[in-house]
Amino acid sequence: MKLKAALQYRRLLLRTRPRRYVELFRTIYRRRRRSIVEIGTWNGVHAEQMIRTAAAHTDIAQVRYRGFDLFEHLTDEQLRGESSKRPPPYETVLERLRNTGADVALIRGNTRVTLPQSTDVLSAADLVFIDGGQSIETITADWEAVRAAIQPGTTVIFDDYYPDPEPALAGLGCQSIIDGLERSTYQVEVLPTTDAFPQPWGVLRVRMARVTFRTS
């Protein structure tokens, strides 16, 4: 079983697109994370991949996943303001993830409301993936709720770190949060894998960042 899980993990890394998600799966695998919170579940594809990666080191029934999203409650205004993608219905995503055999629950609603109400969920996580709304206001609110609840050993991965200035000028991305974190309190890594997407104004480059509390 361990050999099979290792082969499945290697195949996942080879096939993963966009490529920056390799950093997420490597973190889960190498750090043996198995209690995962994802902010921005969307269609559940990356959630399922995270669950199966976590199961490489334990029985899948021992993997715990909690996902936050608006699902069908996402409005057109929110879709535009957050540069988001419209998710499938809640029940569709829930069925997909429950079929993995993991301990799964989805929390539907605006994370500015649901995350502060979910300190028990956040405090039980050993990995939190922040990948919901892309506006700096939403990412900041998500991070503040996460930071207030997580334990010292929890790993936090941020998507939507833009190394170039154009997205920040449009109010998007987590780069001002990551760049502003106190390095004496946090271990901060901007992860090396970069995806590049052509845009009318040039090329959009996207990376992930990894944050943990310093323990000494």
pLDDT, tens only, 112-128 = 999 999 999 999 999 99
Q: For residue range 63-75, what is the model confidence (pLDDT) as tens digits?
A: 999 999 988 877 7
Q: How far apart are CA 139 and CA 158, in angstroms?
A: 9
CB atoms under 10 Å from CB of 191, counted, come to 18
Tell me the percentage of the chain whose pLDDT exceeds 90: 85
* DSSP H or E stretch at residue 25: helix 21-30
Whole-number average pLDDT of the chain: 94
Backbone angles phi, psi at 36, to 5 degrees: -110, 135
What average pLDDT does range 47-54 have in this prediction? 97
CATH superfamily of 2-213: Vaccinia Virus protein VP39 (3.40.50.150)
Region of poorest pLDDT, from 1-15, 35-49, 75-89, 128-142: 75-89
| Cα 204 versus chain centre, distance | 19
Give the Å distances, CA to CA, from 44 to 57, 177, 182, 196. 21, 26, 33, 23
Domain ranges of the chain: 2-213
**pTM for the predicted model, two decimal places:** 0.95
**Cα gap 162→179, rounded to integer Å:** 11
